[in-house]
A and B are shown apart, each in its own frame.
Chain A
Amino acid sequence: AQSVAQPEDQVNVAEGNPLTVKCTYSVSGNPYLFWYVQYPNRGLQFLLKYITGDNLVKGSYGFEAEFNKSQTSFHLKKPSALVSDSALYFCAVSSSRTGNQFYFGTGTSLTVIP
């Protein structure tokens, strides 16, 4: 079965500090991994994805994520957090066997403290 775990409901970080939002996954087949961000009263916005190739993926707004196959993880990172990064972040996975379905984690609420 396909699943995604985001172990932290809430992450707080000071502005200017690095941030990490954790995600682990379980899939059959080759994983396709995604990060989405959701601002209040707005739809999910695509940030970045890993399909194949380089394990470090760079995306929008300075975010990056590292695919780690042995740990089945895809943690989202940013070197220096901004207050405007405060939002709800969702990790999602599909696979080479179930490409039409995205399985989402329960989300992590990120608060960047000025």
Chain B
Amino acid sequence: GAGVSQTPSNKVTEKGKYVELRCDPISGHTALYWYRQSLGQGPEFLIYFQGTGAADDSGLPNDRFFAVRPEGSVSTLKIQRTERGDSAVYLCASSLRGGRAAIEAFFGQGTRLTVV
């Protein structure tokens, strides 16, 4: 597709359950980012991939959060033992390249996660 695609668009889960959020970046974009946006806040950085490897995961809040990008394209953000505080919109973005290059990122529409 032409843009970054995220599925599902909405996810409601019970506290303690496991969830997976999927991101399909723009074709040819080597850099992929996950952000989390809480109500009334700006996006907060979670993790950055350059190719298949997580180049920077300093934004992951704790070890319940994990992300993979096994083939350097699609990425999955995984959250174990979900808590109500995990409720937010999870945004994925991709760019042609990352690292020290100042390249704009293109964002998907996000997955709204609600933990009840």
A-side residues, CB < 8 A to B, are 4, 32, 34, 36, 41-46, 49, 51, 90, 92, 94, 96-97, 99-107
Contacts and interface: CB of A to CB of B under 8 A. Distances in A.
Contacts of A106: 40-42
A104 B101 contact: no
A51 B102 CA distance: 7
Nearest to B4: A43
A4 B41 CA distance: 12
B109 A103 contact: no
A90 B42 contact: yes
Interface of B: 3-4, 31, 33, 35, 40-45, 48, 50, 55-56, 59, 91, 93, 98-102, 104-110
A47 to B, nearest CB: 9
A36 B33 CA distance: 16
Contacts of B93: 44
Given A46-B106, A51-B102, 12 more contacts: A4-B42, A36-B107, A42-B109, A43-B110, A44-B107, A46-B105, A90-B42, A94-B102, A99-B98, A100-B55, A100-B98, A100-B100
A30 to B, nearest CB: 9
Nearest to B55: A100
Contacts of A97: 100
Contact of B108 (A43, A51, A92): A43
Nearest to B40: A106
Contacts of A44: 43, 91, 93, 107
Contacts of A107: 40-42
A104 B106 CA distance: 14
Contacts of A99: 98-102
A100 B109 contact: no
B66 to A, nearest CB: 19
